[in-house]
Every structure is written in structure tokens, then in C-alpha cells.
Amino acid sequence: MEQIQGLALQQTLSPQMQQSLHILQAPLMELRQLVAAELQTNPVLEEEIREVPPEDREERSRDGGALSDEWNEYFAQRATAEPWTAEALERRQHFFDSQTKSLSLQQHVLEQIGSSDLPAGDRGIAMVIIGNIDDRGYLRATDEEIAAQAGCAPEKAGRVVDVVQGLDPAGVCARTLAECLLIQLRRSGRPNGLESRIVQHYLEDLARRKLPEIARELRVPVAEVQKAAESIARLEPKPGRPFATEDELTIIPDVIVERDGADYLVSLNNDDVPSLRVGDGYKDMLSQTGSNREVRDYLRDKIRGGRFFIKCIQQRQQTLLNIAREIIERQREFFDSGPAHLRPMTMSKVAQAAGVHETTVSRAVSGKYMATPRGLFELKYFFTSGYTTAEGESVSNESVRQAIAEIVRVEDTKHPLSDQDIVAMLAERGLPIARRTVAKYREQLGIRPSHLRKSF
């Protein structure tokens, strides 16, 4: 081994280029965070207040004047009113304290324990049990583990588990799906019915829709097994689902498409993009620094960086607008008639028409959404490969998926179509699709195989 010194050419991205690509790829909410961070680190940048058109200004003035009159009248009334009394303050505080808050599953079960006649010693065990219930409502601890945490005998822990299983919602504190369903069946007065026997012994076969085999084993008609399966399907496999709290995801579209007669108008959501400028005061300060070279270099560097940042945002907006217009032009049938008419479109074709590189299009559409008269769509949704029909017409993958969904929707549930049957029906429509492709699209659509879609 030895060290050898040599010269080599290597391409690297400058910090300015990296910043430009980051701004191009950033969705709208992330772009707002980047602008806010740049305003904090670069003192020469300031947010420019957009001027309101005269007609909008007059309309807002009229609305604002009426609102101002209402507020003035309200405050005039408050000024003549008596000061807050202790009773009024108490009612006000009670109002704020009584605001509804969503309870978690664990809190809901704890409230029932608190209002029950369970002995004080067992309540501590019940709290340990509730602490081991997950958000789905299932108990994730054995009697021995609960006993070790609560300091009691496993037999006593098991008895308290039975008590918690009798609380609301039905099925809570079960350890398995079968136990969860059996608790609900017992609660509804069907502890020994056909449904209970199926859940106890043939739950896996039921999941695979092997109804004839279950009927043969239980020596009952298939129609009764079908009816029992429908009854089981109405049970709740996740008792904690009604108490689940999911964070709401807010999507702000970068592009807005509006219909104007027979045409479509494309615009950018500039309301959420702050308008920046370099403050005039810093430009004057640069010319007045005199011989202080350090201050002059600092200001020059900040002004140059601020101007480049503003230019990157402008390039991002213009690139995104050009791509959106090209999407509207190429996917006109989609906007007129719906997803079944989505056309094949690649990023390379859009990049060529927009005058940019294919990677620029990929970065520009990443994580961004378009609000259209047909709903909110991710920009990547419009880029899809396709197939060529027997007549030489190009159709997109989404069109094929929609065709499969329509075929399955109108099929006879007693004789559901297999993937090969769907292949044959698509071939009759001029779509030569392989069976494995149909299976892949069927899974993407959440459609079960034919033997699981069969009803008896």
C-alpha cells in the first residue's frame, strides 16, 4: 500500500446551487419555514407588503367599516356595563373548564373503574391492567406480568382482567382477536351460537372465506355460515378505534386550477409565499460605510445572498407554473372527463416542453399538490406510464386501474371473476395486460382475490 498524489477533476455543487435545489424541492409549508429562517439570519431582507388592488381595497373598506361599527357599538355597550362580579367570573371559568376534550381509551376505562364498586385493593391492579392496554384496545401483558407489576397473585390479576373485560367498549382488554370477538358475542347474548363456534375454531378459515369447508365441519348449511360470517363482520376487531386520535394533516396546494368556461386557468398559491426585498436602508448604508472595509464586506455579502435567495424563489415559482401549464395541456381529457381518461405522461416529455432538465421536473413536483375542480391531487399523480391499445391509442396505468375497479364492481359476487377472467375482459376492450399486472393493480386498489370476494 502506498499514498500517491494526483490531480483529478470532480464536479461539486456550490452552496448557492444546493440552496437553489432545496428551495425548488420544498413544498409550500416548508418554503415558508425557509423564508422565515432566512429573514432571521439575513438582516438586509425584509418582507414586502403586497398592495391591494383599488377595487379590493374599496370592498374591504366597506366590509371593514361595517365590522368596525359593530365593534364600536359592542365596546360602547361594554363601557356602560357593570364590572365583572365574582359570580360572573366563576361562570366564565366554568365555561372554559367545561370545554369538551376527547378522552383516550385508557381514560375512558379508568373513569368506569372509578365509578364502580371494585374494592380499593383491586383498583390498583385494574390501573396496572389499563396501563398495559394498547390504543387498539388489546391487553399486552400476561397475568404473571401484571401480578409482578401490581404485587399480587396471578390468579387475582386474572380475576381483575375479567372485570375490566366487562367494561365499555365491548371487547376491550382482550389478548387476541378471537377473544375480542367472543366478548362482544357474549355481550350481545350469543355466547353459544354458530358465530361463537366459528370464532373459536375456524377464524382462520373464515378469513380465507372457506365457507363450504366450515359448513361441512359444523354440519350446517352454507347459507347459515354465510349469515354468521356477515354477523361476525359487523363486530369491532379494534375496540379502541373510536378513541383513536389522529393528527390532522394540512395540505396547502402550490398550484390552483380553476375552470373558466371551456378553458382552465392556472395560478400559483402566492398568498402563502412571503414577498421579499432588500431593504433600502442597507443599500444606503453600504454607500456610507466609508473606509470601514469589514462593515462594507459584510453588507455586500448579505445583500448578494439576499438577492440570490429572492431569485431562487422566483425561479421556483416560474418553473412550477410552467410545469403546471404543461400538465393541464397534456391532461385536458382528465380535467374534462375524470381519472379514467388520464393519459400517459413522462417527466422527460414535460421537461423538454418546459425547457428544463428532467431532474428539475422531478424536484419541482416532489411533495407538491394541485387543487383542481376534480379535487386535490399530488403533482406526481399526473406522471404515469401506460399501454398501447389494439387501436394504437395510449392509455395510462390509472385508466387500467379504473377499468379493473369497474369490472369488479359490477361482477356477480356469487361467481367473482378471477384475475385471468379480468385479463380476458380487458383484452376484449383492446388492453393487452398480463395477469400478474392485473394482480398488482388489484392489490393497489385494495380488492381481494376472487375466492375471498365470493358470497354464498
Query: Do the domains spanning 105-243 and 386-453 agree at the CATH topology level?
Result: yes
Residues 314-369: tens digit of each pLDDT: 999 999 999 999 999 988 988 888 887 888 888 888 898 888 888 889 989 988 99
Spatial CB neighbours of 100, under 8 Å, sequence gap ≥ 6: none
Distance from C-alpha of 203 to C-alpha of 237, rounded to nearest angstrom: 12
The predicted-structure confidence for 97-137, as pLDDT tens digits, reads as follows 555 556 789 889 999 988 888 888 888 899 999 999 998 99
Pairing status of strand 255-260 against strand 263-268: antiparallel
- Can you tell me the distance from the alpha carbon of 343 to that of 42, in angstroms, rounded to the nearest whole number? 45
Radius of gyration of the chain (CA): 33
| Angle of CA points 149, 151, 152, to nearest 5° | 115
Cα dihedral 442, 445, 446, 447 in deg (nearest 10): -40
Type of residue at 151: G
The amino acid occupying position 133 is: I
Residue with the bigger pLDDT between 288 and 35: it is 35
Helix ranges (H only) for 82-202 are 86-97, 105-114, 120-131, 143-150, 154-165, 177-187, 194-201
Task: Identify whether the C-beta of residue 364 lies closer than 8 Å to the C-beta of residue 320.
Answer: yes
Q: How far is residue 228's CA from residue 139's CA, in Å, rounded to a whole number?
A: 27
pTM of the model: 0.58
Does domain 105-243 match CATH 1.10.10.1330? yes
**446: burial class by Cβ within 10 Å (0-12, 13-18, 19+)?**
exposed
Q: Taking the domains of the chain in order of start, what are their residue ranges?
A: 105-243, 255-382, 386-453
CB 450 within 8 A of CB 413: no
> Each residue of 216-270: pLDDT tens digit?
999 999 889 989 998 999 999 999 988 876 555 678 899 999 988 888 999 998 8
pLDDT at 257: 92
Per CATH, is 386-453 categorized as 1.10.10.60?
Answer: yes
Q: Dihedral of the CA atoms 218, 222, 223, 226 (nearest 10)?
A: 80
